[in-house]
Amino acid sequence: MKTTQLGLGAWDLPWRKQGGKMTRSFNRIKRSRVAAGLAAALTVTLLATGCTGGSSAPNASAAKPAELRMLYTTDEANSAAVASLVPQFKEKFGIDLKIDNQPYDALQQKVFSEFASSSSYYDIVVVDTPWAPALVQNLEPLSQYLENGALNPDGPESNVGDFIPKVFYDTAVYNADSPIKRYPDPKAKPDVSTIKSAGFDVYGMPIQSNVAVMAYRSDLFNDPAQKANFKAKYGKDLTVPKTWDDYAQVAEFFTQPDKKLYGTTVMAGVGDWATDDFKTLLASQGGDGTLADENGKPTFDTAEGVQALDYYAKLAQSGHVPPGSTSADWGTTAESFGSGLTAMTINYHDLKLADNVKGGTIGYAPVPTAKAAGPHFGTWMLSVNKNSKNKEWAYQAISWLTAANQQTTMTAKSLHPSRTSVYSGIKSDNPLAPFYDTLGKSLAEGVGRARLTNYTEVSHEVAVAVNNAATGAASPSDALKSASEKVSALLKSAGY
């Protein structure tokens, strides 16, 4: 290390004077100390390597801890729903579940820095799909736990076969040696042994499944006056749009300044949400909605990509979306729709209307399609920290939390379930039944993100391109080409 040169010479004087006397006695002490130190180090190393053998089988009779610590989100993955299960958890297991809630950015930093320091503080960590490729090496592979009968007393209820296949494979199934790979058969019913024999493993249990869903003001769509006007103007019936062209048309119709109404929203601000808007459109044009292939090459600068971005830019500039849409994000669009400013919206959770929106009712439908369907989806999963000292109990905790019964209970707090049986079990008198119906259908069609360790950087470049096209600062094809070059450079520097 470079020593500073700030005239600290004055400090040296006293030491130098007494140095001779000191070094002699120091040497004597040194030798015996060193020997003891080596012995200690050796013992510790032996113990450590013995304890942290990564591939040791889970011990079904591991000691039960007094508490388990979980790192979780705030609203993003519905922390209130999980919090509501804590008393029940204590009853069932006799363990205190301590949950630490963090908002998204702080959560990501905390998750990464906990793993970077190999901390064993949190037994359970919530992981969002964009982070998983970089974190896979730090998550405990769960196949051995899933196959251990003693650790799965609730049998069929907690088995993985019940998870929505596409959600499960996109969220939790990774090849640790090559995280960029996707499981080859995403529609097959999940089965642990099949997954293992394909060279993959399970790294978490999906809990909150988000997918792009369209919400609309059913009161406006059912209003006889509106229906008559629409028929007069376009010569067909007013229905909830199923294609993007219909969507643009309905948005045009519902832009009614006298009612302070706009057609719909777009989230064109610079951020992951803009990338998500774009990839939904891209997938529906038949393009690759994951944005990059398994060789680490960007796949969005194509004819479909330009078509998708062109549509998006036209919509953003059409005046049929509220002002400020080119800086909008999830929160802003939810606010726009919620305050009655727009007739439709595309977002990732159920929506509520403010009190001053008189007579407003909300309906839900899958997002429009064109040649194909591919709404963006991303699911949070609960994973076991590889460094945790209570892995067996942590596994049982997450297995229980994501079991069918518990997910059904959490739907009372609007959790987005990840299990097929939960969706079919939603009763029709559930106030959110229409939302869950659409959610379940959309999840089955969803398209996830490319599994890149530097996905956030890639997403940023795409979002910049989307924003530039939306504001008109660049043409869609130029924006995509520039983003593609930048992304290629990013992927190369990440080692792909």
Does residue 383 bind other proteins (CB under 8 A)?
Answer: no
Residue 208 touches other proteins, criterion: CB under 8 A? no
57: how many CB neighbours lie within 10 A of its CB? 10
Nearer to other proteins by Cβ, of 372 and 494: the residue is 494
Q: Report the residue from 75, 96, 191, 294 that binds other proteins according to the rule CB under 8 A.
A: 75
Which of these, 431, 413, 295, 424, lies nearest to 362 by C-alpha position? Answer: 431
Q: How far apart are CA 29 and CA 7, in angstroms?
A: 32
Is the CA virtual torsion 477, 481, 487, 492 positive or negative? positive
Is 177 an interacting residue with respect to other proteins (CB under 8 A)? no
Tokens of 33: 């100390």
- HSE-CB at 281 with a 13 A cutoff on CA atoms is 29
CB nearer other proteins, residue 307 or residue 345: 345
> Closer to other proteins at the Cβ: 264 or 420?
264
Block residue for tokens 């097959």? 188
Pairing of strands 377-384, 124-128: antiparallel
State the nearest-atom distance from the C-beta of 431 to other proteins, in Å.
17
x/- mask, other proteins, residues 130-149, rule CB under 8 A, reads: ----xx-xx-----------
DSSP 332: H
Q: Pick from 461, 174, 466: which is nearest to 292 by CA? A: 461
The answer to whether residue 264 forms part of the interface with other proteins (CB under 8 A) is no
Query: CB–CB of 347/102 below 8 Å?
Result: no
Hey, which residues between 313 and 342 contact other proteins (CB under 8 A)? 322-327, 330-332, 334-336, 338-339, 341
Question: Please, what is the minimum distance in Å from the beta carbon of residue 165 to other proteins?
Answer: 27
| Nearer residue to other proteins within complex by CB, 112 or 234 | 112
Query: What single letter denotes the amino acid at residue 133?
Result: P
Could you tell me the smallest distance in angstroms from the CB atom of residue 462 to other proteins? 12
> What whole-number distance in Å separates Cα of residue 186 and Cα of residue 165?
6
Q: Does 103 bind other proteins (CB under 8 A)?
A: yes
For the window 402-441, what string marks contact with other proteins as x by the rule CB under 8 A?
Answer: ----------------------------------------
Does position 263 interact with other proteins (CB under 8 A)? The reply is: no
Question: Which 1-20 positions form the footprint of other proteins (CB under 8 A)?
Answer: 1-2, 4, 6-7, 10-11, 13
Q: Left (φ > 0), alpha (ψ -120 to 50) or beta: where does 118 sit? A: left
* Cβ closest to other proteins, residue 175 vs residue 339: 339
- Burial of 420: CB neighbours in 10 Å, binned 0-12, 13-18, 19+: buried
Task: Specify the residue, 370 or 415, whose C-beta has the smaller distance to other proteins.
Answer: 415
In the DSSP assignment, the letter for residue 180 is T
Q: How far is the CB of 335 from other proteins (least distance, A)?
A: 3
Among 58, 68, 69, 79, contact with other proteins (rule: CB under 8 A)? 79
Kindly state whether residue 261 participates in binding other proteins, applying the rule CB under 8 A: no
Q: Under the criterion CB under 8 A, does residue 178 sit at the interface with other proteins?
A: no
- Residue 206 near residue 163 (C-beta atoms within 8 A): yes
Q: Which two tokens mark 223?
A: 């209003």
- What radius of gyration, in Å, describes the C-alpha atoms of the chain? 27
* Minimum CB distance to other proteins smaller for 138 or for 383: 138
Tokens 């070059």: give the residue: 485
Sole binder of other proteins in the list 62, 86, 92, 110 (CB under 8 A): 110
| Nearer residue to other proteins within complex by CB, 138 or 396 | 138
Please, are residues 474 and 482 in contact by the beta-carbon 8 Å criterion? yes
Q: Of the two residues 13 and 63, which places its CB atom closer to other proteins in the complex?
A: 13
Beta bridge partners of 205: 382
Distance from the first to the final alpha carbon of the chain: 34
For other proteins (CB under 8 A), the number of binding residues is: 65
Residues present in the chain in total: 496
Q: Considering only residues 275, 385, 467, 484, which one is a binding residue for other proteins as defined by CB under 8 A?
A: 467
389 lines the binding site for other proteins (CB under 8 A): no
Listed residue (138, 168, 142, 90) closest to 417, CA to CA: 168
Closest distance between other proteins and the C-beta of residue 28, in Å?
Answer: 30
Torsion, Cα 272 274 280 281, to 10 degrees, reads -150
Asked if 232 interacts with other proteins (CB under 8 A), we say no
Pick one of 91, 177, 258, 355: the residue that binds other proteins (CB under 8 A). Answer: 355
**Is residue 89 within the footprint of other proteins (CB under 8 A)?**
no
CA distances for 104 relative to 74, 111, 226, 373, 437, angstroms: 8, 10, 40, 28, 27
Choose the stretch contacting other proteins; rule: CB under 8 A; options: 37-45, 112-120, 364-372, 441-449: 112-120
Which C-beta is closer to other proteins: that of 145 or that of 330? 330
Q: Which amino acid is at 446?
A: G
Q: Is residue 476 close enough to count as binding other proteins by CB under 8 A?
A: no
Q: How far is CA 101 from CA 75, 80, 110, 348, 412, in A?
A: 9, 10, 11, 20, 20
Residues forming contacts to other proteins in the complex (CB under 8 A) are 1-2, 4, 6-7, 10-11, 13, 74-76, 79-80, 83, 100-103, 105-106, 108-110, 112-113, 115-117, 134-135, 137-138, 269-271, 322-327, 330-332, 334-336, 338-339, 341, 348-349, 354-356, 454, 456-457, 460, 464, 467-468, 471, 473, 493
